[in-house]
Chain A
Amino acid sequence: MQADPRGPSRRDVQVKIGGAAGFGIKAAGRTLARCFTQGGLHTFDLTEYPSLIRGGHNVYQVRVSPDEIHSHVLPVDVLVALNTETVERHHEEVVDGGAIIYDPKTTSVESVPDPKRLCIVAVPLDDIVVEAGGQRIMRNVAALGAVLGLTGYPLSFLTDSLVAQFAHKGPEIAKVNVEVATKGREFALKAACPFPVHLEPVPNALPQILVDGNEAVGLGALAAGIGMYCAYPMTPASTLLHYLAAHDHEYGVVVKHTEDEIAAMNTVIGASFAGARAMCATSGGGFSLMVEGLGLAGVSESAIVVGVFTRPGPATGLPTWTEQSDLRFVLHAAQGEFPRVVLAPGDRTDAFELTWKAFNLADQLQTPVILLGDTYLSDNRESVAPFDTAAVCVDRGKIVTDGDIATHPEALDDAGMYLRYKVTPDGLSTRALPGVTGALQVMNSYEHDEYGYGAQGEEVANRVAQNEKRLRKLDRACGLVPPPALFGADPSTAEISILCFGSTKGPVREAIGWLAREGVNVAVMQIVTIWPFPVHEVSEFMDRSKRTMVVEGNATGQLEGLIRQKCLRAPDWRINRYDGRPFSPEQIFETVREVVLGVHA
């Protein structure tokens, strides 16, 4: 059994549902999460699955709490075992007094050596479904009913949801589902052991939405006015393709599953030339194919947004697991030197905000903006306050969409010729869309002169002027990009300061709450804009800290190295994780305690 740093007064419950791939576990789990968030509770889910369609072992877990939560946790309070393998693999994760819900007809709990420490709840899932005249997939619904029964949560949230969900299939289907859920609950209520945590709806709770990282990015892109999205399927980015494709007609977006990632990137560059807000996204392997085009976007000064959602590599790697090992890759991808912005959302709210901001930055700077995420962010849903759509703004930078270029004398030479790549103090030139009257132009992958012509591109003075012009845009970016985010204690009073990026934010925030309860104050800096690197902010944060620790999901310390390189400062401690699993708050909690208090877990 796991040590449980949530403490004896915990008010949260983590439910884990396990079974074979194809059992509909993720859909069932998401239904359960929705029941809780509609009652005003907070949820955070975690899906783990192999790269198989049938036959592998899948688990979905959802953590529920009346308090704000930021990540999953390791201990399981309720294990729903849809097969014996689930019991065998996960019974040790269940806390003392926790429950295992299982169907004795299909699942054995013989592998549990100490059943007395647990509440083993037999629910005849198969029989319930058969008696109600339902299909076998409805076992999940019976199991959800049992979970609600065990935790004392009203069944109405589930039955209302089922009625709504199956409304289009006719009242009979909905009725059978409701009956199955009700039966499942009744069996759980008959369980001999009381479950230690009671979950109740929160009266007058603020509204919430339930989103995963890819849905949040999709919503951010839609809000920003995305015109074209191109991608080739690759886990964990594929669901963003599905999300946008499902909404293309409603919102007027061209969504294209291209022949490969090379085409995705180059098509997006072409769409950007025509003035569309355009984006592509993939994981590291697909980004490898996009790299050539990324450089084209840089030299041609194309405004594009690129999502890179990391899974463990190299090559095919661990397709369905998580890692933060592409930080250096996205920073250095493509030959030559050109400006790029790299933003790393840490949670779903970040993902929404940074996505719409990425489109503005791309237009303002006329250069690629990369959203660096990972599987932990992409796949897992979190309940959050509805996104702040009132804050969304569209800033397209120095753009001329239509009319006559003659009315923009700042973009013309003495003879009235349009200068697409005019050298300016901030490096930004006026971008006239094709179709603007009188604006002859050449976007160019070659080095080029101010008109865009390659013929004179190689001249020494021109090369230097154009190269420096482009790179000056990075200086301009420094004033536009989001600063690092700070959490927890002030670094000057904290025992230790943590630096992290991306989805590690969640487990870190969770852990520092527990540490504060133990009297260990921790300061956290989440580096939101990875590039241009916030040298001043990071340096100052480290200088004000008693000791520093970098927490990142890779083996080689990519963020740590960046800090050393840019800030000339060495972090004191590090936690690296590269087993494909996300950081748990427990791991961070225990390591920090060990460092600060000398306490060994």
Chain B
Amino acid sequence: MSTPDDFLTPNAPTWCPGCGNFGMWRALRTAYSELGLPFDKLAVVWGIGCHGNGADFTKCQGFHALHGRALPVATGLHLANPELTVVVEMGDGDAFGIGLGHFAHSCRRNLDLTSITHDNQVYGLTTGQASPTTEQGVHTPSTPTGVLERPVNTVGLAIAEGATFVARGFSDDVEHLTGLMKAAITHKGFAVLDVFQPCVTWNKLNTHAWFRERVYRLEDEGWDPTDRAKAMALTLENFSEMTCTPEECRIPIGVIYQEEGRPTYADGLTQVAGPLWKQALAPRDITRALAEQS
């Protein structure tokens, strides 16, 4: 049995002291070890952002991809070798800004991937601009008079587009988050786990304390995650009014929606079995295809 520390590399984390990424990193490594995933069969694809530096700190088969393009890289990796466990880590700018199209289409494909978003409502690595999940009205260097548009309803979008596991976590609640990560990784289908992860340097609104006052665990209130319409309604009620008081706006964390048994994208690819590199061991016999051209 491995331990969370077995997924460390010689590189020390460079995140700011107090960064929510630490809690997520701890929860992920714990999930990997508790699930018994060997580091050489675990593939993780990162986008670009503060979270992405985790590529240097996490022992696995890593791919530190482009900003916004982690999901397509993970899709190719997963479909080309379904024997690997593939986890995707992205920031809120990655997944819901520049990569929103890839996110939506990945949901509807029900790829057997785990999409984990480090959602801190701000662009950290580029010094504090508004992100797609920044609350309306918030002042940032790129929106000095306040954000004019609504934040992306991340989990609502995932449900609408067909993700079969949709959950929300909070990086301070590592134990709860570890459970969500394990559930997301073991879910067969596209698992979306959006994690509130406070940015201590750039986001002075959505702080650790701010989230702690508001979050509650869904399972503590007997939430049934199998009702898609109810789950959708929950995402509409609770997640787009972050400036309201703790009493007015309680933020649920936990599994919002889960649907078992829906076929994955790879289930439809009946033409291949096993890793695709085995298709190129020798030249293919194309005699029949050539005969079509005569």
Interface residues, chain A, CB within 8 Å of chain B? 37-38, 207-211, 215, 219, 222-228, 230, 247-254, 256, 258-260, 262-278, 292-293, 296, 300, 356, 359, 386-387, 389, 392-394, 396, 401, 433-446, 452-455
Instruction: Report the minimum CB–CB distance from A267 to chain B (whole Å).
Output: 4
- Is B290 in contact with chain A by the CB < 8 A criterion? yes
A248 touches B271 (CB 8 A): yes
Is B281 an interface residue, CB under 8 A from the partner? yes
Q: Which residues of B contact A274 (CB under 8 A)?
A: 76-77, 80-81, 84, 275-277
CB of B277 within 8 A of CB of A227, answer: yes
CB nearest neighbor in B for A452: B62
* Given known A259-B102, A270-B75, A271-B79, contact A445–B48 (CB-CB < 8 A): yes
Chain A residues, Cβ within 8 Å of B45: 270
Known: A209-B294, A252-B271, A443-B62. A270 touches B76 (CB 8 A): yes
Cβ A444 vs Cβ B60 within 8 A: no
- The answer to whether residues A277 and B279 also contact, given A262-B69, A293-B66 and a CB cut-off of 8 A, is yes
Residues in B whose Cβ lies below 8 Å from that of A223: 283-284, 286
A354 to chain B: closest CB distance in Å? 15
| B293 lies within 8 A of A247 (CB) | no
Interface string of B259-278 (1 = CB under 8 A from A): 00000000001111001110
- A-B CB contact pairs (8 Å), 23 listed: A207-B294, A210-B294, A225-B281, A225-B284, A227-B279, A228-B76, A228-B80, A249-B270, A252-B271, A262-B69, A263-B101, A263-B102, A268-B76, A270-B73, A270-B78, A271-B79, A274-B77, A276-B276, A434-B43, A439-B40, A444-B55, A445-B64, A453-B11
In the complex, besides A228-B80, A270-B76, 12 extra interface pairs with C-beta distance below 8 angstroms are A208-B294, A225-B280, A264-B72, A266-B73, A267-B75, A270-B80, A273-B73, A277-B279, A296-B69, A434-B41, A434-B77, A440-B61
On chain A, the residues within 8 Å of B216 by CB distance are none
List of A residues within 8 angstroms of B11 by Cβ? 453, 455
Q: Does B145 contact A (CB under 8 A)?
A: no
B196 CB to closest chain A CB, in angstroms?
Answer: 26
Q: Does B183 interact with chain A (Cβ within 8 Å)?
A: no
B79:A254 contact, CB within 8 angstroms:
yes
Q: How far is the CA of A247 from the CA of B279 in the complex (A)?
A: 14
Q: A280 CB to closest chain B CB, in angstroms?
A: 10
Contacts of A267 in B (CB 8 A): 72-73, 75-76, 79
How far in angstroms is the closest Cβ of chain B from A281? Answer: 15
**C-alpha spacing A250/B285, complex, angstroms:** 11
Kindly report which residue of chain A lies nearest to residue B41, judged by CB atoms.
A435
Decide: A254 near B276, CB < 8 A? Known: A224-B283, A435-B83, A438-B40. Answer: yes
With A209-B290, A210-B293, A222-B289 given, is the CB distance from A263 to B275 under 8 Å? Answer: no
Q: Are A435 and B81 in contact (CB under 8 A)?
A: yes
Question: Closest residue of chain A to B288, judged by CB?
Answer: A250
Asked whether, in the complex, the Cβ of A273 is within 8 Å of the Cβ of B275, the reply is no
Interface string of B93-123 (1 = CB under 8 A from A): 0000000011001000000000000000000
Residue of B nearest to A209 (CB): B293
Q: In chain A, what residue has the closest Cβ to B40?
A: A437
Nearest 10 A/B pairs, CB to CB: A270-B76, A225-B280, A227-B276, A275-B277, A266-B72, A434-B61, A276-B276, A274-B80, A271-B76, A270-B73
Contacts A223-B286, A252-B271, A443-B64 known; A455 to B72 CB distance under 8 Å? no
Interface centre among B14, B62, B282 (most CB of A within 10 A): B62
Given the complex of chains A and B, what is the CA–CA distance between A211 and B290 in angstroms? 9
Is chain A's binding surface mostly helix, strand, loop or mixed? mixed
Q: How far is the CA of A260 from the CA of B99 in the complex (A)?
A: 11
Q: Are A389 and B276 in contact (CB under 8 A)?
A: no
| A266 to B72 Cα, complex, angstroms | 5
B280 touches A394 (CB 8 A): yes
Contacts of B83 in A (CB 8 A): 435
Residues of A with C-beta under 8 A to B66? 266, 292-293, 296, 445
Q: Which of A219, A396, A442 contacts B290 (CB 8 A)?
A: A219
Residues of B within 8 A of A438 (CB): 40
Q: In whole angstroms, how far apart are the Cα atoms of A264 and B280 in the complex? A: 20
A435-B40, A453-B9, A454-B56 are contacts. A222–B76 as well, Cβ < 8 Å? no
Q: Does B59 contact A (CB under 8 A)?
A: yes
B101 to chain A, nearest CB (A): 6
Contacts of B282 in A (CB 8 A): 225, 394
CB-defined contacts of A433 to chain B, threshold 8 Å: 81, 275, 277
Contacts of A209 in B (CB 8 A): 290, 293-294
Beta-carbon contact of A275 and B275 below 8 Å: yes
B126 at the interface (CB under 8 A from A): no
Task: Give Cα A393 to B282, complex, Å.
Answer: 7
Q: Which residues of B contact A359 (CB under 8 A)?
A: 280
B190 → chain A, closest Cβ, in Å? Answer: 14
Closest to B265 in A: A256
CB distance from B24 to the nearest CB of A (A): 18
Pair B76/A440 contact, Cβ less than 8 Å:
no
Instruction: Check A441–B80 contact: CB distance below 8 A.
Output: no
Interface residues of B in 29-54 (CB under 8 A from A): 39-41, 43, 45, 48, 53
CB neighbours of A396 from chain B (8 A): 280
Are B277 and A440 in contact, with the CB atoms below 8 A? no
Considering the chains assembled together, what is the distance between the CA atoms of A249 and B272 in angstroms? 8
Q: B40–A247 contact, CB under 8 A?
A: no
Q: Is the CB of A276 within 8 A of B277?
A: yes
CA distance A539 to B40 in the complex (A): 50
Closest CB in chain B relative to A590 CB, distance in Å: 34
A276-B290 contact in complex given A252-B279, A443-B62, C-beta closer than 8 Å = no
CB distance from A302 to the nearest CB of B (A): 10
Please state if A442 and B102 are interface contacts (CB–CB under 8 Å): no
Q: Which residue of A lies closest to B108 (CB)?
A: A259
The answer to whether residues A270 and B74 also contact, given A219-B290, A259-B101, A442-B55 and a CB cut-off of 8 A, is yes
Complex CA distance for A207 and B270, rounded to whole angstroms: 35
Q: Do the beta carbons of A401 and B277 come within 8 Å of each other? A: yes
Please indicate the chain B residues that have their CB under 8 angstroms from the CB of A389 in the complex: 283, 285-287, 290
Residues of chain B within 8 A of A38, CB atoms compared:
294
Flag if A434 contacts B279 (CB, 8 Å).
no
Residues of A within 8 A of B78 (CB): 270
How far, in angstroms, from A452 to B271 measured CA to CA in the complex? 34
Q: How far is the CB of B69 from chain A (nearest CB, A)?
A: 4
Contact B286 A219 (CB under 8 A): yes
Query: In the complex, A437→B42 CA distance in Å?
Result: 11
Task: Select from chain B the residue with minimum beta-carbon distance to A417.
Answer: B10
B65 sits at the interface (CB 8 A): yes
Instruction: Give Cα A310 to B38, complex, Å.
Output: 46
Q: Are A254 and B289 in contact (CB under 8 A)?
A: no
Inter-chain contact B39/A253, CB cutoff 8 Å: no
A433 to B83, CA, bound (A): 12
B210 within 8 A of A: no
**Contacting residues, chain A, for B9 (C-beta < 8 A):** 440, 453
Cβ contacts under 8 Å, A211 to chain B: 293
